[in-house]
Structure 1
Amino acid sequence: MKRIWTLAVMEWKRMFKKPQSYVVMFGMPLLFTFIFGAMFSGGGERAKPQIAVVDQDQSVVSEALLEKLEGSELMNVVGMSLEEADQSLADQNLSGYVVMGDSFEESVLAGMPDVSFSYLPAFEGASVLSNWINNRLVEVAIHAEAASEYAALTDASFADSFVKMAGSSDGGERTVQTVNVTTDEEIQAMDNVTARSAGFAIMFVMIAMLSSTGVMLEAKQNGVWYRLLSTPASKMEIVLGYLLAFFLIGWMQFGVLMIASSLIFGVYWGSVLGNIVLVSALLLCTIGLGLFIAGFVKTSEQQSMYGNLIIFSTCMLGGVYWPVEIMPDFMQQMAEFVPQTWAMDGFRALTAGAGTFAELAGPLAVLLGFTVVFLSIGMRRIKFE
């Protein structure tokens, strides 16, 4: 283990001895995040999404949900007819709209709320708003159920009972108190700056890892590899030393980018533990990809050329530069076969959802699957004589 660690530290020092490494690994990702994040958000400041609400029921229950939506700090709410909302969304004057059907009250009491949320494909805050709206809908449903029971016991009208349960508009005391488990501060939309920050962190980490794994080819070209083989270290220890160095360098880069983007752009990354697991899986996949490419080329220059071509093209497919949803259907299907798509899905789950391991299970499984395939083929094709 000592030999493995010694080799890893040696490679670490070699990487960070070059001044250009700091520019490529840290400066460029932050610059690209600023440019593309501002480009897709329409400016440097984050604007609240414009959401229309279509109330076709006009009942006390639908009005209660509308009141909750209008009180949200996550969005600007406007009332519209369905036709107006459709046209405004088509003209991209709205980020999305919520429709409460004409049987909304009855459907809530039946336990199957008649409500829908339509949004632009490029609106990356849709996931968090959908979750938030669902939470408010649950609150309204609880009040409606309580009002129904109260009306049955007292012969009062449902409308009066609902107002009593939910609390009157003049600030009267609430009979039913709902506690929100998820606070507004914890509900963070994966807006364009956040998405681009995650995307460019992925891309530049992959570029750095590609450069790092090319060191093994370079070592064979300049004779360093053969000098290492003449030491007491075994081939396995040498290989593991390099792999550990690549992993630590990748984590150093990703960690610094996460902290810097949080401080500079206010990016919310979600669960720390979830990020540790997801980033580790991504780094293993990227190291595997680097070794996979190294197994099919002769020199480090060839690996850099073909590797960059692969990384840039797959990053375009995987939603690094722009949302996958705005691409044609056939390209969205192709995106399912690149690691960046699944890494972005994982970060989206962490930043816009609850970030549970159940939500991360799919992206993690696919990334680790890519890792096994890449490492298996790469280690077989690279000659470690």
Structure 2
Amino acid sequence: MLSTLLIKEFRLILRDYHALLVLFFMPIVFVLIVSFSLQSVFSSKDSANRSLQLMTVFADNIDPKTRQHFSTLANATIESVSNDIDVIKAAKKTTLAGDTSAVIVFNQVSKKIAIDIYYAPNTPDYSRALIEAYLLLKLSNKQSSKVPSPLTVYELANTTTNKKPSSVQQSVPAWLIFAMFFIIIPLSSTLLIELNNGTLERLNTFAIAKTWILLGKLLPYMLVNLIQACLMFATGLFLVPALGGEALVLGANAWLLLPVSIALSLTAISFALLIAIIVRTHEQASSIGGVSNLLMGAIGGVMVPVFVMPKTMQTLAEFSPMNWGLNAFLEILLRQGDFYSVLPHMLKLVGLAIFLFLLTYWQLQKTLIT
């Protein structure tokens, strides 16, 4: 019986090819436009005129003249903190949060200066090159003989770092999520047709659970969502760089994109099913679904990246399921997160999907009885 329902649903989906074109090609166009439009906004090169915020730490045995020698750097604001373990730990935490670009620790070993640099994850390459070139120049002026490795560089990082995405890292998952939730357009069309022509009432007369009717809707449209995901990530990987933009890099845990996409699809389809079963016309479904998607997208960081929002809006964004999915994708693409780091986002998505699916089942039962 389920196979018959699936075949019927696929036929209805393929018949509405205009909606499929919207679902597949609309987000690709959005990705291309946004990726190229915002590339300079997200690019580290756009920050070239911003002042570097640095923290310096001097060992107790370094004399005042040496401290003064390293106290200036063009286009940089330098704050010196005391040579104390707790103070240095706090300085690294501040840098990790992105408030400063680097912590520079000066040590004196056998009358030679050794320097440790701890970079923030979002410190751009040109800033790192400037800092290191400056320090090497100062070292060559200060020390008559060369030191084998005068600079030791460290990367401050953890899985929860608020590292900013590039334009393609932001736009590909953001517009994929937005497109997934627009599954309401073809789904509501087929469901309303079946409600209006009595197909669901006739199915209800057979010994078939309403759960199977809903599953017959859910599985085909999940396949549509997964095709959307493949097209969107392929766009970021191949089409954007082919046109001169920045290529999307999937990272070591790219396989996690599949379970996250499935969790998102479950939520999007469950939401679409609930809207479709509540409304009475296709126009109502398009209006309510479209407005809901726009609101969730605007709040959730799809249209405006969350990191540029004020604190109040960032807090509000946490209530949008689109933001849960976007955070999960960024955890994989941006922060090289593992399964356990994306699990909380997936659990929220699946939990909401189950809740919406049960509401849809209850509403369907109520509709068919009346």
- Say yes or no: TM over 0.5: yes
- Please name the residue that 1:103 is paired with: 81
Q: Is this contact kept in 1: 2:164–2:307, CA < 8 A?
A: no
Shift of 1:115: 4.6
Shift of 1:192: 2.0
Q: Map of 1:23-172 to 2, 5 A cutoff?
A: 23-42=21-40, 47=45, 49-50=47-48, 52-55=51-54, 57=56, 79-82=74-77, 101-103=79-81, 106-107=83-84, 112=89, 114-115=91-92, 156-157=110-111, 159-160=112-113
Q: Is this contact kept in 2: 1:291–1:378, CA < 8 A?
A: yes
1:111-147 C-alpha deviation (Å, 9 max, x unpaired)? 61625768xxxxxxx98xx5xx78xx7xx88xx8xx7
Shift of 1:310: 0.8
Match of 1:377 among 337, 352, 359: 359
Does residue 302 of structure 2 align to residue 324 of structure 1?
no
Shift of 1:103: 2.5
Shift of 1:364: 1.8
Match of 2:216 among 241, 248, 252: 241
- Please name the residue that 1:95 is paired with: none
- Please name the residue that 1:312 is paired with: 294
Q: Is this contact kept in 2: 1:247–1:284, CA < 8 A?
A: yes
- Please name the residue that 2:126 is paired with: none
Q: Is this contact kept in 2: 1:285–1:371, CA < 8 A?
A: yes
Question: Residues 45, 101 of structure 1: CA spacing in aligned structure 2 closer, same or farther, 3 A cutoff?
Answer: closer
Q: Is this contact kept in 2: 1:210–1:287, CA < 8 A?
A: no
Shift of 1:38: 2.7
Question: Residues 171, 245 of structure 1: CA spacing in aligned structure 2 closer, same or farther, 3 A cutoff?
Answer: farther
Shift of 1:288: 1.7
Q: TM-score, normalised by structure 2?
A: 0.70
Shift of 1:276: 1.3
| Whole-angstrom CA distance in 2 between matches of 1:272 and 1:54 | 34
What is the DSSP-based 3-state SS (H/G/I as helix, E as strand, rest coil) of the residue aligned with 2:301?
coil
1:38-81 C-alpha deviation (Å, 9 max, x unpaired)? 33334899856536434453859xxxxxxxxxxxxxxxxx8424
1:210-253 C-alpha deviation (Å, 9 max, x unpaired)? 53255223211122223444567543332222221222221122
Question: Residues 107, 344 of structure 1: CA spacing in aligned structure 2 closer, same or farther, 3 A cutoff?
Answer: farther
Question: Residues 9, 162 of structure 1: CA spacing in aligned structure 2 closer, same or farther, 3 A cutoff?
Answer: same
Q: Which letter maps to 2:300?
A: G
| Whole-angstrom CA distance in 1 between matches of 2:290 and 2:114 | 65
Match of 2:199 among 224, 248, 252: 224
Match of 2:249 among 263, 268, 284: 268
Q: Is this contact kept in 1: 2:210–2:361, CA < 8 A?
A: no
Q: Which runs of 4+ in 1 moved over 6 A?
A: 43-46, 167-172, 175-180
What is the DSSP-based 3-state SS (H/G/I as helix, E as strand, rest coil) of the residue aligned with 1:101?
strand
- Please name the residue that 1:67 is paired with: none
| Whole-angstrom CA distance in 2 between matches of 1:59 and 1:44 | 34
Shift of 1:342: 1.3
Does residue 278 of structure 2 align to residue 296 of structure 1?
yes
Q: Is this contact kept in 2: 1:289–1:374, CA < 8 A?
A: yes
Q: Is this contact kept in 2: 1:198–1:347, CA < 8 A?
A: yes
Structure 1 range deviating more: 198-207 or 364-373: 364-373
Q: Is this contact kept in 1: 2:114–2:150, CA < 8 A?
A: no
Shift of 1:302: 1.8
Question: Residues 358, 52 of structure 1: CA spacing in aligned structure 2 closer, same or farther, 3 A cutoff?
Answer: farther
Q: Which letter maps to 2:318?
A: E
Q: TM-score, normalised by structure 1?
A: 0.67
Question: Residues 273, 102 of structure 1: CA spacing in aligned structure 2 closer, same or farther, 3 A cutoff?
Answer: same
Q: Percent of aligned pairs with the same residue?
A: 19
Question: What 5-or-longer segments of structure 2 have no aligned partner?
Answer: 60-72, 117-135, 158-162, 241-246
What is the DSSP-based 3-state SS (H/G/I as helix, E as strand, rest coil) of the residue aligned with 1:331?
helix
